[in-house]
Amino acid sequence: MKTIFKKILLLLTLGILFISCKKYKDEFYGPGLGVAPDDFTASALVASNSNPNFATQTVNFQSTFNATVRWKLTLVGQTSGAIKIISGLSNSLSAANCVWDGSTDTLKLFRKNETVVATLTALGWKNNLSTSITIGAEKKRGYVLGTFEGITVDHTAKNWLDASGYYWFYSFETGEYDLVDKIADPTTPQGSNALKIVGHDANTSYYIGQVGLSAPAGVFNFGTTVLNDFYFNLYVKGSGKAANKDYKYVIQVFEDDNGGGILYDGSEDKFTYTIPLQYDGWKLFRVKYSDFALDAAAAASPYKDHNPDKIANIGFFFGANTAAGLSSTDQIIVEMDHFSITTDGPMIP
């Protein structure tokens, strides 16, 4: 009798263990975590548009699975190196859960006419699927005022026509100019070129030089008077110099407050925002206009109010504090790329 009882008890124990193990496996390897089963299958990865115009369109990707899994779609620009990742937990990819608007997850921006390879993977699946598209037009990122692609700087007139359609200019203190020109930089966020500015503070006055642009006629037309969502967006490459060198890149904005033409005598508003240059490499700055400070030179202005619809001139001043240990012959180097204005919040790369 005891022997029979022991056998029954052993069978019951084994049954409980089997059920427990199966439950454990289902909890940690099944649909709850989205791990692909051994027999997982997926239909071909298809793009809704093989040549999307991201200025006005989006593209979605489709594939159907035989199980609910955690999936990831990785999009890689074959020229720019830009990367975008879309992920989810579902039994298919569709317009409801896998839409791309041309944006990026990296500092690099996707480019017009470049091939983008999309690769689909799933958790626990040893295979993958891929397809490719070609970008017909880039994502619209507000009012682009400076791309610095294909420019030819006129060093006699000290200006150039940018691909954005705006004329830019530069000016330096006497004897402090070293370089203003486009430069082929493989690390640049947008396109192949960036604007490189080089100078030195020969007279130890702090100010070295500036680049900038004026409105073609009166003031820029950014189509808004709303301040809260008005942003200046630009990529700036830092010099990587020691922090005590006090290198600065200052965005300057002049307003034509009285509508009689821009004045630079302090009688109208001038606002500034300072970007320190002590870091190394590229950074994206997205600065709300209301965060610009009234410049001391405009202290006598009776207006003292940020007005996006009255902006007439935008400049980028750079300088260095020689009193902080910088030699008057030390070069200050800065690069900038993709300068834009957005009126609906900060730029989404």
Q: Please check whether residues 251 and 322 belong to one and the same domain.
A: yes
CB-based contact 292:338 (threshold 8 Å): no
d(CA 235, CA 148): 12
Residue 13 inside a domain? The answer is no
* Among candidate residues 113, 134, 155, the one where a domain is terminated: 134
Q: In which domain, by residue range, is 64 found?
A: 46-134
Q: Please check whether residues 242 and 283 belong to one and the same domain.
A: yes
Q: Please check whether residues 94 and 59 belong to one and the same domain.
A: yes
Per-residue model confidence as pLDDT tens for the chain (349 residues): 445 544 444 444 444 444 444 443 444 445 568 999 999 999 999 999 999 999 999 999 999 999 999 999 999 999 999 999 999 999 999 999 999 999 999 999 999 999 999 999 999 999 999 999 999 999 999 999 999 998 999 999 999 999 999 999 999 999 999 999 999 999 999 999 999 999 988 888 888 999 999 998 889 999 999 999 999 999 999 876 655 567 789 999 999 999 888 777 889 999 999 998 888 899 999 999 999 999 999 999 999 999 999 999 999 998 887 665 667 778 888 999 999 999 999 999 9
Q: Please check whether residues 112 and 187 belong to one and the same domain.
A: no
Count of domains observed in the chain: 2
Residue 15 inside a domain? The answer is no
Residue 14 inside a domain? The answer is no
Please give the single-letter amino acid code of residue 208. I
* Among candidate residues 85, 112, 134, the one where a domain is terminated: 134
CB-based contact 211:250 (threshold 8 Å): no
Task: Kindly report the CATH number assigned to the domain that includes residue 186.
Answer: 2.60.120.430
Q: Please check whether residues 195 and 332 belong to one and the same domain.
A: yes
Torsion of CA 288, 225, 142, 273, to 10 degrees: -30
Residue 179 pairs with which residues in a beta bridge? 198
Can you give the pTM of this predicted structure? 0.85
Q: Please check whether residues 150 and 129 belong to one and the same domain.
A: no
The full DSSP string for 171-191 is EE-TT-EEEEEEEE-TT-SSS
Q: Please check whether residues 234 and 329 belong to one and the same domain.
A: yes
Q: Please check whether residues 157 and 120 belong to one and the same domain.
A: no
Q: Please check whether residues 230 and 148 belong to one and the same domain.
A: yes
Task: Kindly report the CATH number assigned to the domain that includes residue 78.
Answer: 2.60.40
Residue 174 inside a domain? The answer is yes
Residue 18 inside a domain? The answer is no
Q: Please check whether residues 118 and 150 belong to one and the same domain.
A: no
Half-sphere exposure of 298 (CA within 13 A, CB side): 24
Q: Please check whether residues 200 and 94 belong to one and the same domain.
A: no
* Among candidate residues 134, 160, 191, the one where a domain is terminated: 134
The conformation of residue 154, written as its DSSP 8-state character, comes to B
Residue 37 inside a domain? The answer is no
Residue 83 inside a domain? The answer is yes
Q: Please check whether residues 332 and 212 belong to one and the same domain.
A: yes
Residue 184 inside a domain? The answer is yes
